[in-house]
Amino acid sequence: MIAKNKYNMSVEQNIFWAKRNIVDYICKSAKLEGLNVTYPETYAIYEEARLKDLDVRTVNVIINLKHAWQELFFNINEELNIDCIKKIHREVARGEALVWGSFRTGKVGISGTDYKPPIPEEKSVKNELEQLLRIENHTERAISVMLWGMRSQLFWDGNKRTSMLIANKIMIENGCGIISILPEDLKEFGSLLSEYYTTNQDKKIKQFIYEKCIDGLDFPKDTETENKPKIKGQR
């Protein structure tokens, strides 16, 4: 059980922080997918420079993540529901999954575990999501939704990226910071995630994410409203 949020920012402050570090977050998400890409390469792709030595999938993943973050910022005030999740996935998996923006319709396996996620059914997914969104603490709510999305494997591909973006929507709209996995923590995160897939016990991985995978900015409590950064969502 997470008792308190690590950060307490306004939505505008959290958007400002996310945009300020967006290339870093995209690079970390790409590494989470096992892609061997550096920050300078990620920055160049983000800025639409042409790099000869990178494979097509790496470029596609990074460009898709850029568009998915833009979608998230643009619709930051939109209700989090199945349609919202599908919109994010549509950007994440465009040109990569069998279909994008729609739940998978067949069986899949997950590497490193014997757990076989059931084929998602709209009504069940809706009910499960609604239950998770009732979690009182915002940070725990975000982490819980992220882990649920990863374990449920709602889509043919792009589940970790989509789930983390949805979690960060919850984090941002409540001023709680950003969830991302440092490269040096990927091995431990992967081990804990495999254990969670197998057992459906999330206590250890939740604590790990809370302690090591959230960053943000501590704004002075007496900061005047008019001096806060005014950042609006934009494509």
Q: Check which CATH number belongs to the domain holding 199 and give it.
A: 1.10.3290.10
What's the pLDDT tens digit per position in 59-81? Answer: 999 999 999 999 999 999 999 99
Residue 1 forms part of a structural domain: no
Distance CA 91, CA 71 (A): 8
Distance CA 28, CA 170 (A): 19
Residue 233 forms part of a structural domain: no
Residue 225 forms part of a structural domain: no
Q: What element of type H or E holds 12? A: helix 11-20
Residue 3 forms part of a structural domain: no
Residue 157 forms part of a structural domain: yes
- The CA R_g of the chain, rounded to the nearest whole Å, is 17
Residue 42 has a pLDDT of: 95
Residue 19 has, within 13 A of its CA and on its CB side, a CA count of 18
Mean pLDDT of 197-225: 86
Distance CA 171, CA 178 (A): 6
Name the least confident of 140-144, 192-196, 210-214, 215-219. Answer: 215-219
Residue 55 has a pLDDT of: 85
Residue 229 forms part of a structural domain: no
Residue 62 has a pLDDT of: 96
Query: Which pTM does this prediction carry?
Result: 0.91
User: Quick one: which of 93, 99, 98 has its CA closest to 65?
Assistant: 93
The average confidence (pLDDT) of the chain is 91
Residue 58 forms part of a structural domain: yes
Of the chain, the percentage scoring pLDDT greater than 90 comes to 84
Residue 83 forms part of a structural domain: yes
Residue 220 has a pLDDT of: 67
The identity of residue 106, as a single letter, is G
Task: Give the structural domain span for 164.
Answer: 11-220
Is the distance from CB of 111 to CB of 76 less than 8 angstroms?
no
Distance CA 81, CA 149 (A): 12
**Cβ-based neighbour number of residue 178 at 10 Å:** 24
Total domain count, the chain: 1
